[in-house]
Amino acid sequence: PPTFIKRPQSFVVPSVQTVRFECEAQGNPPPKILWLKNGETIHTNGRIKIKNFELVILQTVTNDSGLYQCTAENTVGRVSADARLKINMSRDQPDPPTGLIARTLSSTSMELSWNASTSRNGLSIQAYTVHYALTSGGDELQKVALTPSFIVDMLKPYTNYSFYVRAYNGRSASDQSETIVWTTGEDSPLAAPSVALTSSGSTTLHIYWDQLSSDLARGVIVMYKIQWRRRNFPSHYIQEVSGDLHEYSITGLQPGSKYEVRVMGATKFGYPNLSDEMWPWVQHTMPNQGTVKGIPSSPVLDLTVVNATTVKVQWKMPESNEFVVTGFKLAHRRHNLKLWGPLIIPNNSTNYYILTDLMPRTWYEVHLIAYNENGDGRESVRPVQTYPEDNPEITYVLVESPSRLEAVPTNSTSILLSWKEPVTHKNISYFTVRYNPVRDGHVNASSVTYINSTDKDVLVAGLSPYTLYEFSVCSHNTDDIEGPYSSKVECKTKEDDITRRLLKQKTQTILLLYAVPSEPTDVNWTLLDTQSIRLTWKPPKFPNGIIISYLVTYDSHKDKACQVHKGITQEANGSEFASVLKGLTSNTKYYLCLRAKTRAGIGSATELVTLNIQTSSVRNHSSVQSSTSEEQHDPQLGIVLGFSIGITCVIICVFVIIFRNRCHVVDPLTHHYLQHGNKRTGCNSHVGTEGTREMESFMPMLTQINTNAPHLDTKGGYPMMCCNDKQNGYSHSVLYDKRTPKGRSKKNQQTMNITENPQLFYSFIESMRFRHVDHLQCSKVLCMC
């Protein structure tokens, strides 16, 4: 059975301390350790952690008091050990803050506000600490606030956080406020979902994709964009589907051809801007129809709209079919949605089927396959639109859209677009081509252009070099009735002709100015620490070629910041949109600009970005900076100067007291203990190395004390703690219990109580001079009374 190597010890400590219960057991098989508080299982969070054989409680509060139990259990047996924790309340402890509320500001920041706390004994509230952690678990972080509101930033988008606040006066810290859970705002996804492909028949490809994790989705996925193309073809088809779908079927593909597919999700903030490395194509080869012998041909499909909710589907096999047909597989779907079916219909039983319960004035797609014992034949697909339900007596004419659009760039300013006319093409008089540029996944409605054509192809000219365009085509019949637009196809123009010609000839000319990229957009930076920042941006609006790299130039001198050969230059890969600048000097203002680089050369620079690296705050910044933060330091300067004078006086007084008492102060960060003459420690104190200690609270409170006491019996009260020689630098003669000499009453014996440090308030004031430090260490004094 399990046996204990280390048992947890009891503690009596003030609030805002770190307490460690150690418990280690051995056995065969090795036992599992379980921690309980007052008989209930302890759930770890940002403040309470279990590390190896320790239960660590940070920033202790009154509610942490209780009986803690360590249980070691294996298949042979179970043993338990208890320890008690008591949190001493100070008479000067302020009330906890109330009315804590949160307000989302962005995907990475939110504003907290609360009611100001009240303090006792004439003490005023000096500051607050804001504590927050991931609700799902993780380390707890802290920030210092001087007013009853605070903006917390550098959070994860669309993530639940838990928040609470504590108040501090000159002598004590309050208990924590109520804990609230709040979710940050949404953002565009960080990645694309993984894709799997399977084919059914020689012309239909089924696409399946995974749901993005919450960390990658960063919001609710409202739409997916599916792209597919023949392998290495210059243009690709695009289809947007609902965000609740995770599969889609592409029809009308060419047997035996190789296709490439990829999928991207979007939140309400749009699609992410991903490079080809982060958004790779997934390849699939369609089966060759000629490899399977004896399968039937594709049936001839005819659709008739009966009313607003009903469509009649009729079919027949072509005369060229030479093989036996066992039956048909019928399926249908709304535009951009999942296929419903297939419905198996035996041959010779019927040659039609009625689709009912459809939605009025909605486009549907009907799929039909003939099959036999050798396999499925080629699929027939036809679109159809139901009638509106408000005017059932009006005769509607169905005008189908073209299919199989293909776009090929001819040069840097023109693209050749071609398509296949619809099956019912006899009454088609002309076509309308609709196109527009696509930048950062967004389409500007004002940039849409229309071209009419009587042919089945058109050369679209006057385009911008190396720019992605989106095309779709609709049909018009002889009565000038317009049908729906086809599926979209995207194609990018080539690099600038002048660039390629000049690069080939290796000549330098002013014409290169027309080929270099424009400046990058949306430049933002985030302070990582006092010596480094993370810079992010988006690609240029007009790349005019393949972006090879980005050049980040910065300097503390404004006139050198945008000069590549004078300022400090750092180069980033052309497929990346972020870079980390290291080795900066804190409390220094830097100036920065960013350029994109193609084979033609270095493009235009962004506007000058000001980096004001302050050690007192960590914030997200954009390229447009505000000067309000600088102005806010002026009134604080006077406060700091006043505090500094007071601190100087206090330090002098402390040294006088120490000298008069011939005191030697123990460094709480070392392992040195003051000992009795018999070499035993005067008091049991738990101290750790600087590397292993947890950060204490922002407010300098009493240092943790390991009483190393035995199990507490509540019937007999708490054991008395005594020091017998030097403790914390003060020398006292303490007589206790049996060692009380004759003639001296036990009433006069000295016992040790935990009191606040007289330097407490002034240490707090000193800490306010360095507001960037969220947690300050402080020592305590154990006084004899």
Q: What is the pLDDT of residues 299-322, one digit of tens each?
A: 888 888 888 889 999 999 888 888
Parallel, antiparallel or unpaired: strands 730-731 and 24-26: unpaired
d(CA 218, CA 195): 19
According to the model, what pLDDT value does residue 425 have? 67
Scored b (16 or more CB within 10 A) or e, 276-292 reads eeeeebbebebeebeee
The domain defined by 512-612 carries CATH number 1.10.3720.10:
no
The domain defined by 300-385 carries CATH number 2.60.40.10:
yes
The domain defined by 3-88 carries CATH number 2.60.40.10:
yes
CB 339, CB 332: distance < 8 Å: yes
| pLDDT per residue as tens digits for the range 122-151 | 888 999 999 999 988 878 888 999 999 999
Average pLDDT score, the chain? 77
Least confident of 98-102, 229-233, 412-416, 530-534: 530-534
According to the model, what pLDDT value does residue 481 have? 84
According to the model, what pLDDT value does residue 617 have? 43
d(CA 739, CA 105): 66
Judge whether residue 776 has pLDDT over 60: no
According to the model, what pLDDT value does residue 508 have? 44
- CATH superfamily ID and name for 98-183: Immunoglobulins (2.60.40.10)
Give the residue from 420, 408, 423, 414 showing the smallest Cα distance to 451: 414
According to the model, what pLDDT value does residue 710 have? 41
The two most distant CA atoms of the chain are separated, in Å, by 128
| pLDDT per residue as tens digits for the range 575-620 | 788 888 888 888 888 888 898 988 777 888 888 888 877 654 444 4
According to the model, what pLDDT value does residue 131 have? 93
Parallel, antiparallel or unpaired: strands 11-14 and 78-88: parallel
Cβ neighbors of 439 (< 8 A, separation 6 or more) are 467, 468, 541
d(CA 738, CA 604): 88
SS3 per-residue string spanning 678-699 = CCCECCCCCCCCCCCCCCCCCC
664: alpha, beta or left, given left = phi > 0 and alpha = psi -120 to 50? beta
pLDDT band at 274 (very low <50, low <70, confident <90, very high): confident
Spacing of C-alpha 209 from chain mean position: 21
CB 493, CB 415: distance < 8 Å: yes
Judge whether residue 681 has pLDDT over 50: no
d(CA 487, CA 422): 13
CB 201, CB 298: distance < 8 Å: no
Torsions phi, psi of 475, nearest 5? -105, 150
According to the model, what pLDDT value does residue 393 have? 61
According to the model, what pLDDT value does residue 182 have? 94
| pLDDT per residue as tens digits for the range 549-563 | 898 988 888 887 777
Spacing of C-alpha 278 from chain mean position: 17
d(CA 473, CA 417): 10
| pLDDT per residue as tens digits for the range 328-357 | 999 998 877 888 888 999 888 888 999 999
d(CA 483, CA 477): 8
- CATH superfamily ID and name for 195-285: Immunoglobulins (2.60.40.10)
Q: Token pair for residue 106? A: 């962005």
- CATH fold group of domain 403-498: Immunoglobulin-like (2.60.40)
Give the residue from 69, 289, 272, 90 showing the smallest Cα distance to 188: 272
According to the model, what pLDDT value does residue 276 have? 81
Give the residue from 618, 625, 524, 517 showing the smallest Cα distance to 578: 524
- Can you tell me the mean pLDDT for 3-31? 90
d(CA 605, CA 562): 7
Angle separating helix axes 760-768 and 633-660, nearest 10 degrees: 150
- Can you tell me the mean pLDDT for 625-646? 49
- One fold for 3-88 and 512-612: yes
CB 50, CB 37: distance < 8 Å: no
d(CA 465, CA 515): 8
- Can you tell me the mean pLDDT for 506-524? 65
Boundaries of every domain in the chain: 3-88, 98-183, 195-285, 300-385, 403-498, 512-612
**Could you tell me what percent of the chain has a pLDDT over 70?**
75
> Could you count the other beta carbons within 10 Å of the beta carbon of residue 640?
17
Q: Which residue is listed with tokens 């921690």?
A: 35
- Can you tell me the mean pLDDT for 347-369? 88
Judge whether residue 103 has pLDDT over 60: yes
Residue 111 burial (C-beta neighbours within 10 Å; 0-12, 13-18, 19+): middle
d(CA 276, CA 547): 12
To 10 degrees, the CA torsion angle through 276, 282, 283, 286?
Answer: -140
pLDDT band at 267 (very low <50, low <70, confident <90, very high): very high
According to the model, what pLDDT value does residue 679 have? 40
Looking at per-residue pLDDT, the higher value among 773 and 604 belongs to 604
In the DSSP assignment, the letter for residue 771 is T
CB 545, CB 496: distance < 8 Å: yes
d(CA 424, CA 432): 17
- Can you tell me the mean pLDDT for 716-731? 38
Give the residue from 43, 46, 216 showing the smallest Cα distance to 133: 46
According to the model, what pLDDT value does residue 104 have? 93
Cβ neighbors of 739 (< 8 A, separation 6 or more) are none
According to the model, what pLDDT value does residue 289 have? 66
* DSSP for 198-267, written as a single string: EEETTTEEEEEEPPPPHHHH-S---EEEEEEEETT-SEEEEEEEETT--EEEE-SPPTT-EEEEEEEEEB
CB 65, CB 85: distance < 8 Å: yes
| pLDDT per residue as tens digits for the range 688-709 | 444 334 444 444 333 333 434 4
pLDDT band at 515 (very low <50, low <70, confident <90, very high): low
Looking at per-residue pLDDT, the higher value among 245 and 781 belongs to 245
Cβ neighbors of 135 (< 8 A, separation 6 or more) are 160, 161, 162, 181
3-state secondary structure at position 109: coil
Q: Token pair for residue 576? A: 């990346």
3-state secondary structure at position 702: coil
Element (H, E) at 624: none
According to the model, what pLDDT value does residue 640 have? 54
Give the residue from 171, 67, 258, 103 showing the smallest Cα distance to 761: 171
| pLDDT per residue as tens digits for the range 152-189 | 988 999 999 999 999 998 888 898 899 999 999 999 99
Give the residue from 158, 180, 185 showing the smallest Cα distance to 102: 180
d(CA 116, CA 111): 16
